[in-house]
Amino acid sequence: MSFGAETATVIGWREWVALPGLGVHSIKAKVDTGARSSTLHAFSVERFERHGLAMVRFQAHPMQRNDDYIVAAEAPLLDDRIVRNSGGQSELRPVIETSVQVGNSLWAIELTLTNRDEMGFRMLLGRQAVRRRYLVNPGRSYLQPLPAPHPLASDHP
């Protein structure tokens, strides 16, 4: 399949996305082509084993400026990787695979988990996730249809 600019779907530099496998109905994501991997704000990250399979459980605040709403999730641990953050510091992060929904499209991505409390967005959608799927228009936002809003999502448009 060829991916030509004339037929590509365009997304903005930020989009509403969903992570249905983690119970995240909507989260505002920054589409960051400068970041290789996608990242989710996570805390209380705990590695454990279930039936001999490495797992990770964590909690997330999917809504910006709202630390009261918490989503708890578990996923198989795909890997632990050293990732350089935006400040240039390297850190070891757990990596999971989960599904992401942007507009009407749903596909699997790798997602690193880290504390993004101090960052403006609770999620980054990195270039590996959007590669060969979308062209990014850095001057536009929210070009894709919204996932179904969560009833508590006060920052949902």
**150 domain residue, yes or no:** no
Q: Note the pLDDT tens digit of each residue in 90-122.
A: 999 999 999 999 998 999 999 999 987 777 799
What local confidence, expressed as pLDDT, does residue 2 receive? Answer: 53
CATH number at residue 131: 2.40.70.10
Any residues with CB less than 8 A from the CB of 80 and at least 6 apart, and which? Answer: 92, 93, 94, 95
pLDDT for res 88: 83
Residue 131 maps to a domain: yes
Residue 145 lies in a domain: no
Residue 111's CB is within 10 A of a number of other CB atoms, namely 28
CA 26 to chain centre: 10
In a domain, 34, yes or no: yes
How high is the pLDDT of residue 153? 45
- Please tell me the predicted confidence (pLDDT) of residue 14: 96
The CA distance from 153 to 20, in Å, is: 15
Q: Does 153 map to a domain?
A: no
> How many domains are there within the chain?
1
Residues of the chain with pLDDT under 50: 1, 150, 152-157
Find where tokens 């709202």 sit: 66
Residue 50 lies in a domain: yes
pLDDT at position 4 is 59
Residue 25 counted as domain residue: yes
pLDDT for 156 equals: 43
What's the pLDDT score for residue 149? 53
- The residue segments making up the domain with residue 73 are 9-137
Contact 55, 66 (CB under 8 A): no
Helix (H) or strand (E) holding 130: helix 127-130
